[in-house]
Structure 1
């Protein structure tokens, strides 16, 4: 049996170890262990990495789309708010879970662990 690509499994929200079980136990809460293979997922922590990437990607998409619409059509400010605020929320929420899955999968695939302070 071949192991799945951990990054693609994380992107899909599946266990990076087996590719079968669920990685999340809610929208963003990491499951304590894989339901299929029993892999311990509790030690994985993505930190603020996914949020940073989501901010950069969503900001790039929305800012340049808003700039293009402003220069091409010059709509009133209320229309900008009506368009771009919901789009920003949708893009951010849509990207947050896959990005967290990829970051957790990369951490697990590279056997990264949290920094230790004990000697």
Structure 2
């Protein structure tokens, strides 16, 4: 079986080695290993990279949208409560996609902990 492409693996949560749909065990939590080929996903250190970028990106989108809506329509205060579920949805989608991209790249480039060469 040929390994999936970056885009296909990221959008569908596929294992970077075999292409099985086993990268996630929950909405944004990575599985421990692939049920298809046994690849250890714990070794693919995704870290907090996607979360850091999403805080900045989603925060900017939500704040700009809220300010534009407020200045354009001047709605009641409770209308702005819609931004909370929108922010949560954007973050969940972005985290899933970001973690899948980093896991794929980590596997493809055989990345690991930094080490000094003597």
Q: With structure 1 as the length reference, what TM-score do the two structures score? A: 0.81
**Structure 2 residue 104 is matched with structure 1 residue 105:** yes
Tell me the residue number matched to 1:8.
8
Alignment of 1:1-119 (within 5 A): 1-80=1-80, 82-116=81-115
Listed one character per residue, the Cα deviations across residues 23-74 of structure 1 (whole Å, up to 9, x for unaligned) are 1223333222211122222201211111012212312321221121112101
Q: Aligned partners of 1:21 and 1:85: how far apart in 2?
A: 30
The 1-side partners of 2:28 and 2:88 are apart by 16
Q: TM-score, normalised by structure 2?
A: 0.81
- In structure 2, runs of 5+ residues without a counterpart are none
Q: RMSD in angstroms over aligned alpha carbons? A: 2.1
Runs (5+) with no aligned partner, structure 1: none
After the TM superposition, list the runs of 4 or more consecutive aligned residues in structure 1 that deviate by more than 6 angstroms.
Answer: none
1:20 to partner: Cα distance: 1.7
